[in-house]
Amino acid sequence: MSKLIRLKNFLYEKLFKINDTPQRIALGFGLGIFAGILPGTGPLAALFLALVFRVNRAAALLASLLTNTWMSFATFLLAIKAGSAIFTISWQDLQLEWFILIKHWHWQNLFNVSILRIILPVAAGYFLISFCLGLIAYLAVLIIIKKIRRA
């Protein structure tokens, strides 16, 4: 239980005691969530996005580190379902094709044009999920920071 309390105190110190505007902190956190969920990106992409959009880099890095690894399996399954809905294909078939691709993985598969029918729906699903979760995180952190600073 003390580890949980220490984690809460650490997050509070790093996120809410940042000397920046609530909007910049919240946007940095939202961009970090966005970059942390997208596969192949993470802390470096979060820092890059924070620099480009001139938002708080500490919040972006923290959010990216929080979501980068532990949400991978859940977001993969959501990405398959969301991507199959966007491309109007069966999510069961798409999931099966992904498992076959992973089981029989070869680097030469990346050069097959037919692989795009598997990758594009999942990439679109990941983008949609990471955008929605980043937006939700932005709004939640903005509300929390404003309430804490008002008190």
**Each residue's pLDDT tens digit, 72-112:** 778 888 999 999 999 999 989 888 888 888 787 777 766 77
The answer on pLDDT for 113 being more than 80 is no
Residue type, 22: P
Q: Which domain holds residue 112?
A: 72-125
**Are residues 41 and 7 part of one domain?**
yes
pTM assigned to the model: 0.79
The helix-helix angle for 72-86 and 116-150 (nearest 10°) equals 120
**Are residues 81 and 66 part of one domain?**
no
Phi, psi angles (nearest 5°) of residue 19: -85, 80
| Structural domain total, the chain | 2
Class of residue 95 by CB neighbours under 10 A (exposed 0-12, middle 13-18, buried 19+)? middle
d(CA 95, CA 6): 39
**Are residues 25 and 81 part of one domain?**
no
Most confident of 31-40, 91-100, 114-123: 31-40
